[in-house]
Amino acid sequence: MTENNYYQLEKSSKNKKIIYRWILFIILGLFAIYYIAPLYVMIVTSFKTMEEIRQGNLFSLPSALNFEAWDVAWNGQGFSAGDVFLKTYFWNSVKLVVPAVIISTILGAINGYALTKWRFKGDSYIFLLFLFGTFIPYQAILLPMSRTLGSMGISNSIYGLILVHVVYGLCFTTLFCRNYYISISNEIVKAARIDGAGFFKIFFRIILPISAPILVVTVIWQFTMIWNDFLFGATFTFGNEAPIQVALNNMVLTSSSVKRYNVDMAAAIIAGFPTLIVYVLAGKYFIRGLTAGSVKG
Amino acid sequence: MANLKINDINKNFGSTEVLKGINLDINDGDFLVLLGPSGCGKSTLLNTIAGLETSNSGEILIDNHVVNNMEPSDRDIALVFQSYALYPAMTVRKNVTFGLEQRKTPKEKISEALNEVSNLLQINELLDRKPSQLSGGQRQRVAMGRALVRHPKVFLFDEPLSNLDAKLRVEMRREIKKLHKRLKTTIVYVTHDQTEAMSLGTNIAIMDQGKIQQCDTPKNIYNKPQNMFVADFIGSPSMNLLEGSLNNKMFKPNGSDNVQIPLEKYDFINKNINNGSIFLGIRPEHVYFDKVNEDCFGIKLKSEIIEYTGHEQIITFNFSGQQFLGKFPSTIDIQMDKELDLYIDLKQISLFDKNTQNRI
């Protein structure tokens, strides 16, 4: 081939590359719009008045930033009976999520550490049971759990709900931590044993300080699961003890005469906000932690 | 510093026997190398000495005390691991002193001991770094520092150099030798690298299939292997083992009609052995082109393959159908596919019984 031919080939492959790039970005952009559109509608609707909603287009911007719907969703309308609002229930959820996440994460980490670094007879079967536990559907444990909570005297309380979420989440946190710790060299634990450290000393001084990637994963996972849970909350609590997702449901479904879309939208955003924050702050670590151990580093 | 005695140790993992009746006697200040192919049980034996594994039967004595039921930390031993096993979240300083802290050593004593080892191993500048910021050789030094700082009775090394590159490995090998010369501690060192074993050990125990095949000085291991496994395992390329028959102190190799090698100068263990199927072992470096001494036996062999490695060349000959290697300096010119005159040094041979595979 001549010099000219090579030049032509190089040019055409360069053009091809640019075209493919553009196609890629256009497709990605379409998907992004598709996924973001509902959130956009929620946000603009929450700032509109009912008048605007009735008249206007779904995608049109509000005429002014109107916080009234947000205020109603958070604080209620001021009359006592039948007025559902989110403030109390939001704090219920916080009081539920924080201890439940911390306890289930710590217990999962200790389980994973014991299952990988202090092998004992039958440990693989115990791990298998944990693995099996992750496949148990929510509905299957409703009845036995309510009996248990009843006999313990903590039904319809935040404590009961904490216990439910810790027990249910333990399988997941154990699985995550076990898979992470199995990639950590056993020789570190042996060295520490020879240095004279025991089970918990090794865990807290040596293993826990290098567990950040997987702890972030379990925290995000547990936070999302517990915060977004509706079924356990609706089953094991009622009235003032309910978590936010139950309150959101009550608020949206029980409004009497007119559907207040702006209030519903504001309430939904409030209910979803904490998980959004967690993902934005720690999402980077989430992906890193999920893939940790899959590639030897 | 102390002696170490291992009496009849057996260890099973389920139904597989990993250690089958190991006996070792290691004197104070000895450097014993456990050498063997992978899976021979040498690391298990080391872990058993350390107390990280328990044996099914037998006794381990450190300083004449039975330590079988003691925790690893109470045995007064230190172990250097292949992966170094440094604590990733701690600085080098913390890594080295962690063991002393666990033993509630007073602060002044700790900093004194830290100073001593960091000077000895030249890790002074590294003390505030994390293990991830160190090179392989530096990590190795820190791992040794962590072991040295406690002044244990026995040092255990589990393939400590196998993660280093070739050049660094030779350097660190020499440093370990220096350390041993200086500290005169009892050391048990596991490796699968025979050069490392030969150059470091005052004694070498060759292990295979859970048994000790031979425990002796490096010289005796090399020159007087007790069985065919040891003969074949040690040396690169390994010893030529010619199959043949013994008859009246004459060796007749299989497949050749006219060659008879006289063995009257060989030092038989059992003087009465006079005939039977045997193997004659001769190392490739004891094959020459010239008659280097009185005990050389001349033979004509056909050269077939040449392997040039720079400082030497390995020639494959055909010994009436059996493969026969010779190692020569790379300076001489050797023609292939030609009958050549060779001399075998009969003072250097080893004879093995074909059935028992043991030296005769």
- pLDDT tens across the length of chain B (360 residues): 689 999 999 999 888 899 999 999 999 999 999 999 988 999 999 999 999 999 999 999 999 999 999 999 999 999 999 888 999 999 999 999 999 999 999 999 999 999 999 998 889 999 999 998 998 889 999 999 999 999 999 999 999 998 888 888 898 899 899 999 988 999 999 999 999 999 999 999 999 999 999 999 999 999 999 999 999 999 889 999 999 999 888 899 988 878 889 888 888 888 777 788 999 999 999 999 988 888 899 999 999 999 999 889 999 999 888 999 999 998 888 888 989 999 999 999 999 999 999 998
Nearest to A229 by CA among A173, A288, A285, A162: A162
Instruction: Tell me what pLDDT residue A79 has.
Output: 61
Chain B residues 121-160 with a CB less than 8 Å from chain A:
146
A292 touching B (Cβ < 8 Å): no
A194, A206, A210, A296, best to mutate vs chain B, most B CBs in 10 Å: A194
Judge whether residue A294 has pLDDT over 50.
no
Strand partners, B279: B243, B352
**Cβ–Cβ of A210/B88 closer than 8 Å?**
yes
DSSP letter, residue A240: G
- What does the block give as tokens for B5? 């005695």
Instruction: Tell me what pLDDT residue A283 has.
Output: 77
d(CA B107, CA B102): 12
Residue A71 lies in a domain: no
d(CA B20, CA B207): 11
Instruction: Tell me what pLDDT residue A108 has.
Output: 96
Instruction: Tell me what pLDDT residue A295 has.
Output: 42
pLDDT exceeding 90 applies to what percent of chain A?
57
If asked whether residues A283 and A140 sit together in one domain, one would say yes
A180, A193, A195, A206, best to mutate vs chain B, most B CBs in 10 Å: A195
d(CA B314, CA B327): 5
- What does the block give as tokens for A200? 């918990």
Instruction: Identify which of A253-262, A287-296, B260-269 has the greatest average pLDDT.
Output: B260-269
Instruction: Tell me what pLDDT residue B92 has.
Output: 94
CA of A205 vs chain B CAs: smallest distance (Å): 9
CA of B154 vs chain A CAs: smallest distance (Å): 12
Beta strand B65-66 with B77-80: parallel, antiparallel or unpaired? unpaired
Judge whether residue A80 has pLDDT over 60.
no
Q: Which CATH fold would you assign to the domain B238-353? A: OB fold (Dihydrolipoamide Acetyltransferase, E2P) (2.40.50)
How many domains does one find in chain A? Answer: 2
Q: In terms of residues, how long is chain A?
A: 297
CA of B348 vs chain A CAs: smallest distance (Å): 43
Q: Which residue of chain A is at minimal alpha-carbon distance from B70?
A: A194
d(CA B169, CA B148): 19
Nearest to B249 by CA among B262, B233, B237: B262
If asked whether residues A136 and A265 sit together in one domain, one would say yes
Asked if residue A211 lies in contact with residue A109, where contact means CB atoms within 8 angstroms, the answer is: yes
Q: What is the dihedral of CA A154, A159, A162, A163, to 10 degrees?
A: -40
- Estimate to the nearest angstrom the gap between the alpha carbon of A220 and the chain centroid: 5
Beta strand B65-66 with B240-247: parallel, antiparallel or unpaired? unpaired
Stretch(es) of chain B classified as CATH 2.40.50.140: 238-353
| Cβ neighbours, 10 Å, residue B151 | 14
Indicate the pLDDT class of residue A58, thresholds 50, 70 and 90.
confident
d(CA A273, CA A223): 12
Q: What is the dihedral of CA B288, B290, B295, B298, to 10 degrees?
A: 80
Q: Which residues of A touch B85 (CB under 8 A)?
A: 185, 187-188, 190-191
In this structure, what CATH number is given to the domain that contains residue A156? 1.10.3720.10
- What does the block give as tokens for B28? 């104070």
Residue A296 lies in a domain: no
For chain A, the average pLDDT equals 88
CATH no. for B4-232: 3.40.50.300
Chain A residues 130-169 with a CB less than 8 Å from chain B:
none
Q: Residue type for B54, please?
A: T
Strand partners, B44: none
Nearest to B95 by CA among A119, A197, A102, A246: A197
Judge whether residue A59 has pLDDT over 60.
yes
Nearest to B269 by CA among B226, B236, B233: B226
If asked whether residues A9 and A119 sit together in one domain, one would say no
Write the pLDDT tens digit of every residue in A173-199: 999 999 999 989 899 999 999 999 999
Give residues with Cβ within 8 angstroms of A61, minimum separation 6. Answer: A44
Indicate the pLDDT class of residue A237, thresholds 50, 70 and 90.
confident
Stretch(es) of chain B classified as CATH 3.40.50.300: 4-232
Q: Which residues span the domain enclosing A91?
A: 87-291
Q: Which residues of B touch A194 (CB under 8 A)?
A: 50, 52, 72-73, 77-79, 99
Instruction: Tell me what pLDDT residue B77 has.
Output: 93
A10 touching B (Cβ < 8 Å): no
Indicate the pLDDT class of residue A49, thresholds 50, 70 and 90.
confident
| pTM reported for the whole predicted model | 0.82
If asked whether residues A62 and A109 sit together in one domain, one would say no
